[in-house]
Structures are given as structure tokens and as C-alpha cells.
Chain A
Amino acid sequence: MNYSDLLVQGLVEGCIYALIAVGLTLVYGLLRILHIAHAGIFTLGAYVGLLLTNETGSFAAAFVITIVAVGFFGMAFYRLFYEPILNKPPHVALIASIGLFVAMEEIYRLIFGATSISFLAPPLKDTVEVAGVRLEEGRIVVVILAVVLIGGLALLAGRTRIGIAWRATVSDAAMAESFGIDLARVRYINFFVASALAAAAGIMVALLLNQVIPTMGGVPAYKALAIIVLGGLGNVKGTLIAALALGVIESFGTIYLDRVLDRDAIAFAFLIVVLMIRPQGLFARR
């Protein structure tokens, strides 16, 4: 592989990380919860998307239905599990979230079985050449999705009432409430968006690997945690940069670091080095 291949592969991975991590950092920014169970929602998106595609035969339709449905699932998830414990000490939500995640993986195993499920007719598998690099169509779709979804969100956050309400709530919830912003609504929408993004990432990962297994959420989700810390917990721009950077670093790291560490540990090696130098992450909030 040459350098441009590695770079492009890394950026594609980075886009997937970004789709997962932006949701995590949104939740953290608003609620100060490390939402580990986000990984379970990612996996749910993969299952629902794959099964719907196999059922309907249309990847596009399945994709849209899945991200909306999983978005609503995320709202219900917040309502049922997080809202009642928001005012407890921070470790309570963290550990509860770990418990939920572990339980979710097991529930998937019980429902869908421990073995992998694949697409009957995997879509977007042709390769095309972009700027001298041969890429699967699916990978190009990942990049387009990341740009459209995250870019669209950024526009909405800047231009719409709900976007402004969301930003006000992130910077000071009590103040926002005193201005008449409905905090509960902002939180619901936040979970909808975060979960829909995770679902989108889940389907795309399912497509690229052409398989879904109960534990597929683990590794990308832990990396997403590392990414949001690197990005400065709650900082969306920092998270995006960290996601892309990690994708690229891993891509090159598999070539140069393979003897020492496996690919999945690189994120954390990078994370630990950065945190020891800059405890507030690469891009602190303030």
C-alpha cells in the first residue's frame, strides 16, 4: 500500500469514528454522562439496518427507516434509564451505562444468536477510482454521510431555534431554563440525534464488513470514548479532528506499529500519551 491509500483508508475510518463519537460528545456536553451504552445503540443500528435491507431489498430505504427508528429508541432509552439518575453522583450514570451496554450485547446474542449475520446481496460493493485510489462505493458513502449528516447538524445548530436552544443548554443549563428553554425537549432531541448518528455508523460498518455480530460495538465504541476525551469532552470540533486524526494514525500505525501493538490498542496508546501531556484533552472546552 502506498501513502495515499493509507491516508484515504484512514480518513474513511475516521469518518466512521466521527459519526459514533459526535453523538457521544453531544451527550457528554449536555448531560455530563459518559454514555458507554452508545455502543449498544450503534450495534442495534447495524442489526436493524441489515435485517431491514435483507427484508425489503432496498438499502436506502432500510437506512433511513433505521436511523429514524433508532433515534426514537435513543430518546426512549434516555427517558427510561438516564433521566431518573441525572442528579446522582457522576459515577452512578457511568457505571449504570456500562451495565446497560453489557446487558444490550447479551440481549442481541440471545435474540440474533452469537454468530454473524450478513447481507443477502451486499450493496455498494463495486470499486471506483477516486484521485488515483481505488475505493469501494460503500467507503465513499461513509464519507458523504459523515459530511452531510455532521455538516447538516452544524448548520442546524447555528441557524435554527432548537439548535440555538441546544447550544445555550450546553453552555449553561440553568441559565437556558430561565430563558424559557425546555430542557427535557433539548435532551430528547440530543439523544435522538446522537442515536441516529450511531445507527448510521452501525449500518455502514455492517456494510463494509458485511457482517453483524453482538459484540461489534465494543471496539469502535471504546475508541469513540478515547476520541471524545482527546477532543476535549463535549467539544464537537475537537471530536471531529480527533476522529479523523485517529483514523489516519491507525491506518499508518498498522504498518509501523504492528509488531508492538495491535491496531485497536493504538487509539489508547495515543490517548494516554496525549492525556499525560495535556490532561484536558487536545482541545479543551475552555
Chain B
Amino acid sequence: MYEISLLTVMSFSVIFALSLNLITGFCGQISLGHAAFYGIGAYTAALFTTDGGSFWLALPLAMAVAGFFGFIVGFASLRVRHDFLAITTMGVGFLFTGFVRQQEFLGGEEGIAGIPDPGIGQIPYMLLCAAFAAAVIAFSLYVKRSWMGQAFDAIATDEDTARTLGVDVARYKLTAFVFGTALAGLAGALFAHYVKFVEVESFDFIESISVLAMVIVGGIGSVWGVVVAAAFLSVLPLLLQVFADYKLLIYGVLLFAVMYFAPGGIDSLMRMLWRRISGRRTAE
């Protein structure tokens, strides 16, 4: 039973991390408030199903609502860049928690408890989450290969030059925000129906930083790197009590150490290792 919950947690963490990777990694738009969209998805789904709505409808609904707010926040990325955008998105995160805390219909400080079980059993729920995670991995890999990925890459590197090649930077950024936040909403809905209880602390600044840590440790823009980082970082606190006790310390040190020693994250380390191995092979 324990392995089931590990795989479930791993699955929606992978979806959540890849959703930020789409915005920050692929399109180069830093976000320090991504947990807000995870929260919007979780609260939307929780409200809907506690009110008697179907779990299956809650998922697309959570994506739509999160994506809608993502679209609005995306406009911020059209107005401000880099450091300004970092702080603006951080502000969005605080606005979300600050708003939710004061709303009775969202449970305020207490949150929403008694979210109904999807009613499909633990193993099928784990498989469902894993299937969504697999789909999001496949989608990410495909986006990277597609022309959209090329345009994202250009925008992430130098958006002014991208414009001179006819790239409609604004529409691409908005698309990245909508996709990324909708997927975060999906992850949030899956999370809410796994823990069956949502409270605002689960979506605060620290959560935004945790998901950023997954993307950074994995390697900004790398799909497999982020998957590996998200999988490990999400389940380590469940596996090792030491990791659970010092989770934030470890996240903090990891964020710093990766930036300090290996800004490319796991992805670039793996590539380096691979080059060394294959280099030795050709040398022999």
C-alpha cells in the first residue's frame, strides 16, 4: 500500500514540475508563484466534488480555471521581464494565499475537508495519476520537438530577436502560461483527491519554491531531468524521515548548490558523464 502512495505522489509531482518547466524552462519566463495555480486547481476540484460534482468533470474544470487565471497572469509577462516578472509572479502567489485566507466559501484558514473519494480504489487512482504523468511527459517531449518548442527556445534566449524572425512573442508566452498553469491545475486536482483535504499552506511561497527546486535541480528546460528530480524530491520525504525533517534545508541547499556548481542541473551532469563515458570508449 505504501508503494502505491509513493507512486501517486510522484505522479502528480512530476505533472506539477513539468507544468512549471513549460513556462520557466521552455519559454524562459520565471515564475515564483506557480503553487497558486496548483492551488487553484485543487480548490476548484475540491469545491466541485464536495458539492456533489463528478470527479471526472472536476479534472477538466480544474484545468480550465487554472488555465484561465494563468492566461491573466500571462499578461504580466508581456508587461514586465526578468527580475520584475520574478517578483510579480511571487506577488501572484501571495495574492492567492492572501485571498483564500479571507474567503469563507474556500474554508479560509481551515481549508476544505471531506473531499469525496474518486471511488475507483487506490491502485486504479495511482494508475490514473501515473497515466496522466506519462501523458504530460510525452506532451512535454513533443512540445520541445515541435515548432512551438523552437519558438519557445528562441523567446527564452532572446525575445527581441525572436520578434525580428516574425515570432509573435506575446501569443507564445500566453500559450506557455495557459498550458503550464492548466497542467498545474490538473496536478492540483489530483493532489486534492488524493489527500482529500486542501488548505492554503499547501500552496504558499514555499511550495512554489519547492516546485522551482525540482525544475532547477532537474535542469531548466530538460524534460527527463525534471522528471527525475521531481520523482526523487517528492518521495524522499516519505521514504526517509531525515529528509522529511530537513526537507526545506535540503531544498535550499540544493537550489543554491545547483546554481553555484552546476546551473544545468541533473541534465547537464548526465550529459557530461555520458560524454566522458563515450569519450573513453572512442579513445580505447
Q: Does A42 contact B (CB under 8 A)?
A: no
Determine the chain B residues whose CB is within 8 A of the CB of A140 once the complex forms.
none
A278 to chain B, nearest CB (A): 9
Which listed segment binds B: A12-20, A61-69, A205-213, A262-270? A262-270
Q: Which of B30, B254, B256, B260 contacts A91 (CB under 8 A)? A: B30
A106 to B249, CA, bound (A): 5
CB contacts (< 8 Å) of B83 on chain A: these are 28, 32, 34, 90, 94, 229, 233
Bound complex: CA A218 to CA B204 (Å): 11
Question: Is B238 engaged at the interface, CB distance under 8 Å to the other chain?
Answer: no
In the assembled complex, how far is the CB of residue B218 from the closest CB belonging to chain A, in whole angstroms?
A: 13
The CA of A95 and the CA of B209, in the complex, are separated in Å by: 9
Judged by a CB distance under 8 angstroms, whether A102 is at the interface is: yes
Residues in A whose Cβ lies below 8 Å from that of B228: none
A267 neighbours in B (Cβ, 8 Å): 91, 94
A264 contacts which chain B residues (CB < 8 A)? Answer: 94, 98
Q: Is the CB of A95 within 8 A of B259?
A: yes
A38 to B: closest C-beta gap in Å: 13
Interface residues of B in 239-278 (CB under 8 A from A): 246, 248-249, 251-257, 259-260, 263
Chain B residue with the shortest CB-CB distance to A32: B83
Tally of contact residues, B, Cβ under 8 A: 41
Asked if B254 and A99 sit within 8 Å, CB to CB, the answer is yes
- Is B260 touching A272 in the complex (CB atoms < 8 A)? no
- Chain A residues near B263: list those with CB within 8 A: 88-89, 92
Q: Are B84 and A99 in contact (CB under 8 A)?
A: no
**Residue of A whose beta carbon sits closest to that of B80:** A279
Q: Is the CB of B91 within 8 A of A271?
A: yes
User: Please, how many angstroms separate the alpha-carbon atoms of A272 and B54 in the complex?
Assistant: 35
Contact at A34–B87, with CB atoms within 8 Å? yes
Q: State the CA gap A265–B86 with chains docked (Å).
A: 16
B13 within 8 A of A: no
- Shortest B175–chain A CB gap in Å is 20
Q: A262-B101, A275-B76 are in contact. Are A96 and B256 (CB under 8 A)?
A: yes
Known: A98-B212, A272-B92. 18 other contacts (CB 8 A): A28-B83, A88-B263, A95-B216, A95-B259, A96-B259, A99-B254, A99-B255, A99-B257, A100-B252, A103-B249, A229-B84, A261-B102, A265-B97, A266-B98, A268-B98, A269-B95, A271-B88, A272-B95
Residues in A lying within 8 Å of B, measured CB to CB: 28, 32, 34, 81, 84-85, 88-96, 98-107, 110, 218, 222, 225-226, 229, 233, 258-262, 264-269, 271-272, 275-276, 279, 281
